[in-house]
Amino acid sequence: MKGLLLVGGKSSRMGTDKSEMIFRDGLTQRERGTQLLESVCDEVFISVAEGSGENIIPDAFGNIGPLGAIASAQKHSPDATWLILACDLPLIEQNHLADLASAHSPDIKASYYNSATDGLPEPLCAIWSPSSALAVTAAIISKQRCPRSVLGKITGRGLEAPGLWTLANTNTEADAIEIRARIDGSITEKTVTVSYFAQLRELTGTSSENIRTESTTPAGLFEEIRAKHSISLKRKGMMVAINGDFTDWTHPLKDGEEIVFIPPVAGG
């Protein structure tokens, strides 16, 4: 099995190269991700948007995201089974990759963890067999570039999520705050009141609820709510208000606060 660490993203929401961020052990995410893959794979490669070098695989299908990186690896070594890992998963551990490798068998096209929030396949901590290449290529040709969608259409093996935060990406500053709090043990329990409007009221089945949470920010709290109520909505385009005032997703939550999540309004 070969490993592929994805570092070719633009990191536009974070505003800095996520692969160079340091969360643990003084290692960049690129360095730590490489070490994790080396612990379970025979050979490890780095996926980049463009470039060359030893064990470097540039995107061969242009700027189309992670699915292009997976297809590029399969083109590089068609007979290989690939363990794909995104570089922005600071809470992933060696045992999670080892469990994934143990669960995989050659007769299935992919093995993956199911998301703790929506139950769908997590494609960027997953094993892709050579037999998945046809579906990957077909998706690219038809301009369906979501790797999660590809996993949903092929014969795969889904493992139960190893927790809400283990596979959490550091896409934004708020994500990084939540993850660092779990790494340094600074999380504290608090009780907050959450009110729901519009589509969120329909999805949760309630207008408000008191929640005991360890989340540090509204972003973390919303991920808990997504998992609790199986909500497919994401934070993009959504607003949050604390105690009656609009704020951003990095606001430090305090005990007793009142939070309102406001989804985007459809129509115009």
Secondary-structure class of domain 2-159 per CATH: alpha beta
What residue spans define the domains of the chain?
A: 2-159, 173-262
Looking at residue 264, its pLDDT comes to 83
Contact between residue 20 and residue 7 where contact means Cβ atoms under 8 Å apart? no
Bridge-based pairing of strands 22-24 and 27-28 is: antiparallel
Q: Chain-centre distance of CA 108, in angstroms? A: 23
What is the fold, at CATH topology level, of the domain defined by 173-262? Ubiquitin-like (UB roll) (3.10.20)
pLDDT at 50: 87
Residue 166 and residue 189: Cα distance in Å, rounded? 19
* Burial category of 15 from C-beta neighbours within 10 Å (exposed 0-12, middle 13-18, buried 19 and up): exposed
* Residue 237 in tokens: 């385009």
The predicted structure's pLDDT at residue 268: 41
Q: Would you put residue 53 in left (φ > 0), alpha (ψ -120 to 50) or beta? A: left
Q: What is the DSSP string of 185-235?
A: T----EEEEEEE-HHHHHHHTSSEEEEEE--SSHHHHHHHHHHHHT----S
Cα distance between residue 246 and residue 243, in whole Å = 8
Mean pLDDT of successive 10-residue segments in the chain (268 residues)? 87 73 95 97 95 92 93 97 97 97 96 92 97 97 94 94 93 95 95 93 94 97 94 89 96 97 71
The DSSP output letter for 49 is S
CB 168 within 8 A of CB 178: yes
Give start and end residues of each alpha helix (H) in the chain: 29-38, 66-76, 94-103, 133-141, 147-153, 173-184, 198-204, 218-229
Under DSSP, the state recorded for 36 is: H
Q: What SS3 class is residue 168?
A: coil
